[in-house]
A and B are shown apart, each in its own frame.
Chain A
Amino acid sequence: MRIPLRHTLALPPLFALVLGLCITSTPVPAHAQTAYYLGAAGFPSTIRVAIRENNASGEPDPRGRIIFVSTVNFDDYCRCVLPNEWYPAWRPASLEAGAIAVKMFAWYHQLHPVTVDGFTFDVDNTVNFQTYRAESYQDSTDQAYYTTRNLAYVKPDKEIFELNYRAGYQNQPNWQYRNAQKMAQWGTEYLAEQGKTPLEILEFYYTGRMLTSIPGVGRS
């Protein structure tokens, strides 16, 4: 079947119109262009945690309704995330790399809040952000958190960015996660077992970043 010429001439503008509609209908977060830098952005004292309803088994449901937003001390939030994300019996270097990742993830989102179903919050208590359980802190993870509390892992211009991570696989460095610029949690334990320091672990997964101290923030 042959298509008349006038019809083929009309196709590119139609395609452009559809493309334009697609682009304009894509939601653009208001904070997409906002960058925050270490020094200008003060260390958070609190963070707003959306508590989602539990599923029938009694576990917070990542797709569940938001019940309320709890304002939590920032240090307590990080302390109550780390043992649920990293494994508390792992080596200190792994936990310290994890503590920095958990803190930088939380800090980034504290600077970039979202509004869902009428609730404005920074993070929720599920794997949508980081798994948070109140009062679940442990000695080993607390030690890792406070050892690294005064440290930030940022871009060379000191921009605060989200340190993301996934579980990964046991007994290997997880190169594919490095390629995706995400930290593999099992990989941190593997590298710690190989004698790597927390900085070496961070540098392995997130290239082109730097570890620096946070102005005015101590270890306690």
Chain B
Amino acid sequence: MLRKLRPASGQRTLRLRQQLGIALLAIGGLLLTPMAAYAQSPSPGSTPSVQSVQPNNGAKPNASPQSPAPAPSAPNTGYVPDLPGSAAGRLRVKVIDGRTRKPLQGAEVVVIETEKRYKTDKDGLTPWIKAPVLRSARYRFLVNELHGQLNLISYKDGYRDSVHMGVRVNEGAVTKTTIWQYKILPGPDTRVEPVLYQEPYHRLWIIQLADRFRRPSQLGEGYERP
């Protein structure tokens, strides 16, 4: 009885092993496909994501009628610059010469949070920008910020880079901001570094924040009063 059963059980085991092998091959194939695709994509951070403006670094385009170059694809950083679902306002940036206060044409403004780039026109203005309202999570459960904040960088040949942080943005509201850039002068400017401007929080929120944590036993300047 046992001898009769052995071959049958051996065949079943063999069939199970074959099925298991096929399943493993299928799983391996599924795993390898995205990895191969990832290996073909450029490494994260190697090329900036360019949405509105293609930066011209002086290199000639590699284009021939026989072999058209493939369009450069954005790197897969896992970061979604459009921030779907987040509320947005509208932002327009003006870039001016910090000394003459005249508009600067052709400056490139980068919104750091969205990684998008915009060129200024003859009036020093960027196009209207869809600006996500990003409030700092640090304060969310304590005193919600009155406004979101965005950070910008402006580049212009012959000028110091200008980093402009903390631009106030609100849902559905229009915001304008001005970036001041300073011309690099051959004489005095021996050490050239970016200029930082930190836009302050609105004073109404600062007052709220200070009052929020004030102890009645240690009043400091006291609660806001007429």
Contact between chains at B170 and A88 (CB < 8 Å): yes
Q: How far is the CA of A139 from the CA of B96 in the complex (A)?
A: 19
Tell me which residues from 170 to 221 in chain B have a Cβ below 8 Å from any Cβ of chain A. 170-171, 173-178, 197-198, 200, 202-204, 207-208
Interface flags, B157-169, vs A, CB<8A=1, else 0: 0000000000010
**A to B contact number (C-beta, < 8 Å):** 55
Majority DSSP secondary structure for residues of B touching A? mixed
Contact between chains at B224 and A87 (CB < 8 Å): no
Of all chain A residues, the one with the shortest Cβ separation from B206 is A167
Contact between chains at A59 and B200 (CB < 8 Å): yes
When the two chains form the complex, which single residue of B174, B176, B204, B225 contacts A186, counting CB atoms closer than 8 Å? B204
Tell me which residues from 37 to 84 in chain B have a Cβ below 8 Å from any Cβ of chain A. none
Cβ–Cβ < 8 Å partners of B204 in chain A: 87, 167, 185-186
Interface size on B, residues (CB 8 A): 24
Cβ–Cβ < 8 Å partners of B147 in chain A: 89
* Interface membership of B226, Cβ < 8 A: yes
* Interface membership of B146, Cβ < 8 A: yes
Cβ–Cβ < 8 Å partners of A179 in chain B: 226
Using known A-B contacts A167-B224, A176-B226, determine if residue A88 contacts B173 with beta carbons closer than 8 Å.
yes
Contact between chains at B203 and A177 (CB < 8 Å): no
Instruction: List the 9 closest pairs (A to B, CB-CB), nearest first.
Output: A180-B226, A89-B170, A135-B178, A177-B226, A182-B226, A139-B174, A89-B173, A167-B207, A167-B224
What are some 18 contacts across the A-B interface (CB < 8 A)?
Answer: A57-B198, A58-B198, A84-B202, A87-B146, A88-B175, A89-B147, A89-B170, A89-B171, A135-B94, A135-B96, A139-B174, A167-B207, A167-B224, A168-B224, A169-B224, A170-B208, A174-B226, A180-B226
Contact surface of B with A, Cβ cutoff 8 Å? 94, 96, 146-147, 168, 170-171, 173-178, 197-198, 200, 202-204, 207-208, 224-226
